Amino acid sequence: MSVGLLYLLFSRVDMSRLWSVARHASPAWLAGALLLYGLMILTSTWRWTLLLRAQHVLLSYGFLAQSYLVATFFNNFLPSNIGGDVIRISDTAKVAGSKTLATTVVLIDRGIGLLGLALMAASGATLMHRMAVGPVGPGVLWAGFGIGAIVATPALLIPETATKLLQPLRVFHAEWVDARIEKLTYALTRFKETPGALVGCFGGAVMVQAILVAFYMAIARSMNIPVGFAELAVIVPVSFIVQMIPLSVNGFGVREATFGFYFTRLGLPLESALLVSFMGAALIMLFSLTGGVAYLRRSVLS
């Protein structure tokens, strides 16, 4: 899928024009984009810290920031982003005293992040009516956010109801499943008792999405591509949602096709969509190399 979409997209652009614009990108704006991505990592770490503390798992912010960097490295240099979650779970399971608890925290973090993503996309589409062109308009995005909130609320406010849904799994290994359900219920009950952590995490999730939109806007500004925050507030979250479908390698091709779909409907050339998308991916991979350095350093010290 990645190869096919990229071939199709590049066959429709003027390569000489594409490289000409890329060569004249402003280093200052690109440096600003890297700083924004670093701020996103710090904000994401803060969200994770809030959820862990709600479970009485006390780890330093510095340790968690380093773990998040390593996870980002694995997310960007492995075919899927599961590797990064494994790193985060592994780094917190010992102090949490349970892999189930550490996994629950990461999954809740992921789920709240998706809600923040959907809210950003829906808000951007509402503010920028031109983005209603195509299959994903404001109504669809608001519906997605509403469904996500409806699904998440019972799990967090009525833990017993959520864990009862897992009871059929007891047919595989009753004792093992019962132990995991008990730990999951305990974790969800803790979150119910600390709503401030969930509210803070959701606010952080919205902030993360806003920073990522600003990250891509800085990239667009570096090449004088006239696309605004409201437009990107739709394009960027939708591209992340599309990338979750397991049809590509790290979203390549699918992400560019999504950017191209919206950019062309805004009257912008396809070249500009590919430039913003590829430059964003390149900067993210460049930044994530710091996680690789952190991982090597940690391996040497251990």
230 part of a folded domain? yes
pLDDT (tens digit per residue) in 104-149: 999 999 999 999 998 988 888 887 765 555 566 778 888 888 998 8
Residue 85 lies in a domain: yes
Tokens linked to 211: 């920073």
In a domain, 174, yes or no: yes
Task: Examine residue 56 and state whether it is found in any structural domain, yes or no.
Answer: yes
Q: What are the tokens at 147?
A: 């469904």
Q: What pLDDT score does 59 carry?
A: 94
Instruction: Give the C-alpha separation, 273 to 89, whole Å.
Output: 35
Cα–Cα dist 203/60, whole Å: 21
User: What is residue 253's three-state secondary structure?
Assistant: coil
CA dihedral (135, 137, 139, 140) positive or negative:
positive
120 falls within a domain:
yes
Q: Average of pLDDT values for 212-219?
A: 96
The model's pTM: 0.87
C-alpha 60/C-alpha 63 separation (Å) is 5
Alpha helices in the chain (DSSP H): 2-10, 15-23, 27-54, 61-77, 82-96, 99-127, 138-157, 159-164, 170-193, 195-222, 229-243, 254-265, 270-301
Residue 1 pLDDT > 70, yes or no?
A: no
Give residue 145's pLDDT. 87
The count of C-alpha atoms lying within 13 angstroms of the C-alpha of 138, restricted to the half-sphere facing its C-beta, is 12
Q: Which of 81-85, 115-119, 161-165, 279-283 has the lowest mean pLDDT?
A: 161-165
Q: What angle do CA 86, 50, 117 make, to 5 degrees?
A: 70
Percent of the chain with pLDDT over 90: 38
Whether the pLDDT of residue 273 is over 60: the answer is: yes
What pLDDT does 49 receive? Answer: 96
Instruction: Kindly state whether residue 302 falls inside one of the protein's structural domains.
Output: no
CA–chain centroid gap for 80, Å, is 12
- The pLDDT tens digits for 25-78 are 899 999 999 999 999 999 999 999 999 999 999 999 999 999 999 999 988 877
Mean pLDDT of 226-253: 81
Cα distances (Å, whole numbers) of residue 177 to 103, 108, 170, 174 = 15, 19, 6, 5
Over range 214-218, report the average pLDDT: 96
- Structural domain includes residue 209: yes
Q: Which domain holds residue 116?
A: 2-297
When mean pLDDT is compared across 9-23, 93-107, 138-152, 220-234, the lowest value belongs to: 9-23
The rounded mean pLDDT for the chain is 85
pLDDT at 41: 96
Looking at residue 81, what is its pLDDT? 63
pLDDT tens digit string along 275-285?
899 889 889 98
Does residue 224 belong to any structural domain of this protein? Answer: yes
CA 38 to chain centre: 14
The Cα diameter of the chain in Å comes to: 64
Is residue 88 within 8 A of residue 104, CB to CB? The reply is no
Per the CB < 8 A criterion, the answer to whether 111 and 94 are in contact is no
- CA–CA gap between residue 197 and residue 295 (Å, rounded): 29
Report how many domains make up the chain: 1
pLDDT value of residue 289: 92
Q: What is the pLDDT of residue 302?
A: 66
The 3 state secondary structure assigned to 79-140 is CCCHHHHHHHHHHHHHHHCCHHHHHHHHHHHHHHHHHHHHHHHHHHHHHCHHHHCCCCCHHH
Report pLDDT for 236: 92
